[in-house]
Structure 1
Amino acid sequence: MSTRYAALLRGINVSGHRRVPMAELRELLGELGHEGVATHLQSGNAAFRSASEDEGALAAELERAIEDRFGFPVDCLVRSAAYLAAVADACPFPAATLEGRQLHVTYFDRAVEAARFAPLDAEDFLPEEFRLGDRALYLYAPDGLGRSKLAVALGRPAVTRGLVATSRNWNTVLKLVEMTRD
């Protein structure tokens, strides 16, 4: 029995830095014994099938393999198809009525307490909003991420210290669900 997963790599292929070609990522995942490997975009999204049921172990294995192959560390999160679908289904915003660039999900390596975000005064950022989910944060940014003051505040070290986090726009969230579907 095997499970479908998505690997979410953080901070690669940005402005020509920390290059991880997707063809090489697919090859690397295959060398690690995973099957049905596919990638999406150049920003570090891969789907694969594995007999392992340990997301943390899969992520650590991929991190070691990437550093060995490419010579630099890359934080990776691995999430099951069921988890990815549950995150999409639990979206607290009206996703079907929004553009993909207006809605984002930040995936975390572990559950995050709401107290971490308490210093942020939500009123200061309206109409932008965020909601916490299961190891995820949903961000509604009507003018897109590039203009989002809330995204900047949410990414400050005081908020993210000690977390591994990586964000995807809603179009990519849905594509990952599709890629990991049986």
Structure 2
Amino acid sequence: MKTFIALLRGVNVSGQKKMPMAEVRKMMTSIGFKDIQTYIQSGNIIFKSELNSTKEIEGLIHNAIKNTFGFDVPVLVKSVSEIRDVIAKNPYNNENDIAHNRVYFVLLQNTPNTELVIAFEQMDFPNEKFTVSNSCVYLCCKNGYRKAKLSNNLIERKLKANATARNYRTMNKLLELAS
């Protein structure tokens, strides 16, 4: 069995798409996953599966959420090695920025089109730095993510890719729990 991390987009935020994590763990068990852990209420699930295809796992979880909770939630699944690689390639490792929760990872479901990336990289956001890779847009938001102009929605629109954001601490905690 291989360990994976599922990242759900937009659950339990401002009272929207409420999904109690105890019910999420029960749902995950019912569709055949093992050793299920959740981390905080924002839709982070660590689990084991005999399946190897992240796309297949994403589809299973997406359908189970729709059947169990009655709403459509984008699901992004990454292996532990993929998460480890994303964290290792983070160009924003300033301890002060990390300590003040300014470093974010916007994980991409698929590799964005090269032309879209080139156009996106020409954009400028005061107080925000970003770097685009095949699987992640790395952010350093000097005024914090909540005040950032470079939001998850904007990144999805400009790169035409589903995405979900997590902060530095959450990414490292997920890796710790999965290891």
Q: Same fold (TM over 0.5)?
A: yes
Hey, what's the Cα distance between the residues in 2 that align with 1:176 and 1:49? 14
Residue equivalent to 1:171: 169
CA-to-partner distance for each residue in 1:132-164, whole Å, 9 max, x for gaps? 123111011011001212337x71664143x21
Structure 1 runs, 4 residues or longer, greater than 6 Å off? none
| Length, aligned pairs only | 177
Contact 2:156 2:163 in 1 (8 A): no
| 1:89 maps to amino acid | A
Hey, what's the Cα distance between the residues in 2 that align with 1:89 and 1:127? 23
Residue equivalent to 1:13: 12
| 2:128 maps to amino acid | E
CA-to-partner distance for each residue in 1:41-81, whole Å, 9 max, x for gaps? 11100000111110000000000000000111111011000
Residues 1:157 and 1:135: Cα distance change in structure 2 (over 3 Å): closer
| 1:57 maps to amino acid | E
Hey, what's the Cα distance between the residues in 2 that align with 1:73 and 1:177? 26
**Bigger mean CA offset, 40-49 vs 93-102:** 93-102
Hey, what's the Cα distance between the residues in 1 that align with 2:81 and 2:95? 20
CA drift of 1:114 comes to 4.7
Residues 1:24 and 1:95: Cα distance change in structure 2 (over 3 Å): farther
Residue equivalent to 1:115: 115
Length-normalised TM-score, structure 1: 0.89
**Bigger mean CA offset, 97-106 vs 133-142:** 97-106
Contact 2:127 2:142 in 1 (8 A): yes
**Bigger mean CA offset, 171-180 vs 124-133:** 124-133
Hey, what's the Cα distance between the residues in 1 that align with 2:133 and 2:167? 16
Hey, what's the Cα distance between the residues in 1 that align with 2:130 and 2:147? 15
How does 1:127-138 map onto structure 2 within 5 Å? 127-138=127-138
Q: Indicate the SS of the match to 1:134.
A: coil
CA drift of 1:175 comes to 1.0
Residues 1:168 and 1:119: Cα distance change in structure 2 (over 3 Å): closer
Aligned identity (percent) is: 29
Residues 1:129 and 1:115: Cα distance change in structure 2 (over 3 Å): farther
CA drift of 1:95 comes to 4.8
Residue equivalent to 1:103: 103
Length-normalised TM-score, structure 2: 0.90
Q: Indicate the SS of the match to 2:52.
A: coil
Contact 1:6 1:45 in 2 (8 A): yes
Q: Indicate the SS of the match to 1:19.
A: coil
| 1:23 maps to amino acid | A
